[in-house]
Amino acid sequence: MRLDGVWLRYRRGEPWVLRGVEASVAAGEAVAVVGRNGVGKSTLLKLAAGLLRPQRGAVRERPARVGYVPERFPADQPFTARRYLLGMAAIHGLAPADGRRAVGEWAERLHLDPLLDSPLAELSKGSAQKVGLVQGLVHRPDLLILDEPWEGLDAATRAKVPAIVAQTLDRGGRVLISDHLGEVGSLPDVRTWELVDGQLSTPELAPVECVIEVAVTGAEVDAAVASLRAAGHRVLGVRIPS
């Protein structure tokens, strides 16, 4: 998918939100769109999803199956989560049996299954976000667009996002994901587009340090510490039970 010289603004006379954006996303590639609040990350994602039309330039070679997960899921709808998700699966073109299976699998994976028969309006913000996530995933999209997917999710579900992205990439799909929380470092092989003043730059992400807790026997402590340091890791501390 390519953005060819895309210019976009919401109304005539207003400043351009996107100015001559040139970019492409290859099959099997994930791109994180980063930038300060209000810079136009969501606008760029909506453009990629086909929800906005550029005044100049074009979005080309957009895959047919698109999954779009908005920053805030609109829970003010008169459905249970199950009825809504089955309805969205059908709109995506899934047969009823396939829709039931896909909704069941994703609900189980995201621990949403106990809430499937709850009205959407009664779900917590995090659970509603999970519904938003599932509706964008049930049809195995070739282009997955996630607008701030970590927003409002509990820690356990946030930790599943990298696997969801990796699964889409493994199928040869493309993933566009926006983030202002700095969570993109947890994603596998992600490329970054930084949006500044309506234009894209592609800075390298600073490596994210992770902490691993390792248990060894008392006799192995010194050797393990030395081995880790020799491998270039920082050893933050050693706890020896009294």
Under the rule (CB under 8 A), what is the footprint of another protein?
46, 49-53, 64, 66-68, 70, 72-74, 76-79, 83-84, 87-88, 90-92, 135-136, 139
- Cβ–Cβ under 8 Å, residues 161 and 150: yes
Burial classification of residue 186, based on how many CB atoms lie within 10 Å of its CB (0-12 exposed, 13-18 middle, 19 or more buried): middle
Return the number of the residue (147 or 183) whose C-beta is nearest another protein: 147
Instruction: Tell me the CB-side half-sphere exposure of residue 190, using CA atoms within 13 A.
Output: 29
Nearest approach in angstroms of CB 204 to another protein is: 31
Nearest approach in angstroms of CB 228 to another protein is: 47
Return the number of the residue (53 or 233) whose C-beta is nearest another protein: 53
Return the number of the residue (92 or 174) whose C-beta is nearest another protein: 92
Nearest approach in angstroms of CB 66 to another protein is: 5
What count of other Cβ atoms lies within 10 Å of the Cβ of residue 166? Answer: 15
Dihedral of the alpha carbons of 215, 217, 220, 225, in degrees to the nearest 10: 30
Nearest approach in angstroms of CB 31 to another protein is: 18
Return the number of the residue (130 or 192) whose C-beta is nearest another protein: 130
The whole-angstrom separation of Cα 105 and Cα 111 is: 10
